[in-house]
Amino acid sequence: MRRELHPSKNFGGTITVPGDKSIAHRAALLSVLAESDITILKFPRCDDCHISLKAVEHLGVNVTRSGNELVLSPPESLAVSDDTILNCGNSATTARLLSGIVAGLDVTATLSGDESLSKRPMQRIIDPLSEMGAEFFSENGHLPVRISGGKLFPFDYQLPVPSAQVKSALLLAGLASSSGVTLRETIVTRDHTERMIETLGRGVSVRDVKAVAVPDPVDPRKKKMKMPEPFRREITLSSQAKIVGGIVDVPGDISTATFFMVGAAVSGKNITIVDVGLNPTRTAILDHLRAAGCSVVVSDKRTVSGELRGTVKIEGGELKPRKIHGETTASLIDEIPAIAVMAAFTEGTTVIRDAAELRLKESDRLETITENLKLMGVKCGVLEDGLAIEGGKELAGADFRSYGDHRIAMAFSIASLFLVGPSSIDDASVVRISCPEFYDILKKVTA
């Protein structure tokens, strides 16, 4: 669905954004393993989360809808035969987390996906789950994947790459199989799964490793900070861990909110986003906006269903280019398309490194960001693991391509507001993957 886009002199207001996808996925999928009902408030209407909901229904979970509330009742027995096919659509989160659940249950099922998802890597899930004792049958580590699960071995594992999906898959496998799991992260990733297990059940513990002061070997009179262990966080799941049930009130998705924050940053105006998630593993975008020259005010902070939330007000300022790399890139990985758009309107060169993971998303985002920025007249270079964006010039409207990627479509729809002349996006319908309300909210903030 092609959509015409136009510049706007107006930007700002007070908005809410749909519920956090990451949290909603996990709440839905955990219902398969729960002892009693899980009630989800503000479950998002996006295609991705609907896929997880359909998958658990296929496994026998009863879903009752009442307005903005879902009640998920766990199955008395799993509705799984050896020829069961669970369609994961375009949702990598569904495919990877569901792999963990199936691996830990005494069932055999096949996970499939659409053309885009079938190109995305599953080997990072298959390898550790196979070590735990599950059997996988796939072609070149991609969907479709046939999984034969069962009682798994206790597992001790250090994540080789920062991935909340891998971590979550292993924790869910342990839950499903009643097997102990210990995981270690050198870069801390989203911790929604750990928080939700604690909120809806019991049996998970988290230990953070802090740097300590030790004598400097060069000059013993001085101290230097050193990590006492070769990891930053250790997550332990007991073999007695379980999901009892309860209520999950889903906060607004900060990754969706980022697009409107960037709109405020580029326009120099302000926007207030109410009831948005403020999980500490997700708020690097606020730090980035502050460092880039924006005013960021957070208020009304509170914890609901184990997750911090609050109100965020962003006001644009004189933007400065930034260098993004290492752990910062990992914590901003979903926000990079929006950050790249902000960089296009920032005088100077923004450099993003350690972002090779972007090549494995719904599109090769390093390439698709670059192609669309060039259409605007931005000088942008693709690095092996990132981007170099030279911004600050007056930029022209363009006919953007979404490449079937929701975050690309949303990022360049925001960019169109500040270009000279009209623009378009070739397929605006892809925003349904994460935020079907996106253009309604965009209309509100530009009215």
**DSSP 8-state assignment for residue 318:** S
The order of strands in the sheet holding 38-41 is: 62-66, 69-73, 38-41, 246-249
CB 328 within 8 A of CB 379: no
Rounded Cα gap, residues 138 and 123, in angstroms: 9
The C-alpha torsion from 369 through 374 and 375 to 378, rounded to 10°, is: 110
Any residues with CB less than 8 A from the CB of 263 and at least 6 apart, and which?
11, 271, 414, 417, 445
Parallel, antiparallel, or unpaired: how do β-strands 38-41 and 246-249 relate? Answer: parallel
State yes or no: is 405 an active-site residue: no
Burial annotation 56-76 (CB, 10 A radius, 16+ → b, else e): bbebbbebeeeeeebebbbbe
Query: What are the DSSP calls for 55-84, one per residue?
Result: HHHHTT-EEEEETTEEEEEPPSS----TT-
Between β-strands 38-41 and 423-425, what pairing exists: parallel, antiparallel or unpaired? Answer: unpaired
Count the alpha carbons within 13 Å of 104 in the hemisphere toward its beta carbon: 26
Token pair of 408 as six digits: 């690309």
Catalytic residue among 275, 334, 354, 405: 334
Query: What is the distance between the alpha carbons of residues 331 and 352, in angstroms, rounded to a whole number?
Result: 13
In this structure, the number of other CB atoms found within 10 A of the CB of residue 355 comes to 22
Known catalytic residues are 334
